[in-house]
Chain A
Amino acid sequence: MEERKSLIKIKPKSYKDGEIVKVNFMVMHPMETGMRKDKKTKELVPANYVNSIKFVYNGKTITNMTVWESVSANPVFTTYMKIEGQGDLTVTYTDSTGEVHEQSIKIKPKG
């Protein structure tokens, strides 16, 4: 399984309990549609795209997304979440080839 880079960013960087913050998740993924031809071999490049993403905060699913091949390569997803105490935000994503990856960050509200 290929190692893929991914990143979770919370904006603003410093936040309080109860605050609603922006959550960005991005991953280096080619998002192949299966309809693109390789320039050299002229063969179709097999489809391979992120097809599901789940945001879980302290065991509770905040958002889950079904994603299709029309989303751009190296995709970025932004949504909001309400800070409710310390804990982990875990983003799990799968792609159409069956790869599953997980990325977490610590949520630490100040005050």
Chain B
Amino acid sequence: MQRRDFFKTLGTAAVVGATIPVMSFAAETKKKGPNAFTYEQALDVITGGKKPVKSDKVHLKVPEIAENGAVVPVTVEVDSPMTDSDYVKAIHIFATKNNNVRCIDANLTPANGKAMLSTRVKLGGTQDVAALIELSNGEFLIAAQSVKVTIGGCG
């Protein structure tokens, strides 16, 4: 039997195996940690209820598939002149389904020269990563992207 055929016969088992690597944490994150904070709460606290606008000025870079939920690279860049009259005041990064969705709140100034923030976050499972931007004119921009978290590899 060819290897390929052999695997085909294992089709059913394969599907079962396939669902295992992708963690679905939604059902498991019932236990609330000390800093539990939802995405809606977090947005509200920062924007004061103002609705953020989706914008292509916000470049959120995350992997589609994270090879390890403990270290997921996130980079946010915003098109902005970063002058005293027009700059990005803050970049917030959220892991929308973590116990505490807040990852980092960075307050920027025109002295940054460029509006960019990059770090690595832990994701407790497949979820959206979101970036909320506060502009100096009081407007809020937002971008979000889904990251599939896998338990991969061998140890």
Let me know if A34 and B34 touch, CB within 8 A.
Answer: yes
Given contacts A65-B104, A71-B121, contact A81 B35 (CB under 8 A): no
By DSSP majority rule, is chain A's interface helix, strand, loop, or mixed?
Answer: strand
Q: Given that A35-B99, A63-B106 are contacting pairs, would A81 and B122 also be in contact in the complex, using a CB cutoff of 8 Å?
A: no
Kindly report which residue of chain B lies nearest to residue A23, judged by CB atoms: B112
State whether A62 and B122 are in contact (beta carbons under 8 Å apart), knowing that A69-B100, A80-B116 are contacts in the complex.
no
Q: A73-B70, A78-B119, A79-B117 are in contact. Are A33 and B33 (CB under 8 A)?
A: yes
Q: Are A72 and B111 in contact (CB under 8 A)?
A: no
A107 on the interface (CB 8 Å rule)? no
Residue A39 interfacial (CB < 8 Å): no
- Name the interface residues of A21-52: CB closer than 8 Å to any CB of B: 31, 33-35, 47
Chain A contact residues (Cβ within 8 angstroms of B): what range? 20 to 34
Given the contacts A69-B35, A69-B100, A72-B70, A62 and B119 also touching, CB distance less than 8 Å: no
Cβ–Cβ contact A72 & B121, under 8 A: yes
In the assembled complex, the Cα of A81 lies from the Cα of B113 at a distance in Å of 6
Given A66-B105, A78-B116, are A57 and B121 neighbors across the interface (CB < 8 Å)? no
Q: How near does chain A come to B35, taking the closest CB pair, in angstroms?
A: 6
Q: Is B102 a contact of A65 with CB atoms below 8 Å?
A: no
Interface size class on chain B is 20 to 34
Is there contact, CB below 8 Å, between A70 and B103?
A: yes
| A81 B104 Cβ-Cβ under 8 A | no
Is B65 an interface residue, CB under 8 A from the partner?
Answer: no
Minimum CB–CB distance for B19 against chain A, Å: 25
A35 touches B31 (CB 8 A): yes
| Cβ–Cβ < 8 Å partners of A35 in chain B | 31, 33, 99
Distance of A77 Cα from B121 Cα, bound (Å): 11
Q: Sample 5 A-B pairs with CB under 8 A, ordered by A number.
A: A63-B108, A69-B100, A71-B119, A71-B122, A78-B75
Known A63-B109, A71-B103, A71-B122; further 5 A-B contacts with Cβ < 8 A: A64-B106, A66-B102, A72-B120, A75-B119, A80-B114
CB within 8 Å of A: which residues of B? Answer: 31, 33-35, 70-72, 75, 95, 98-109, 111-123
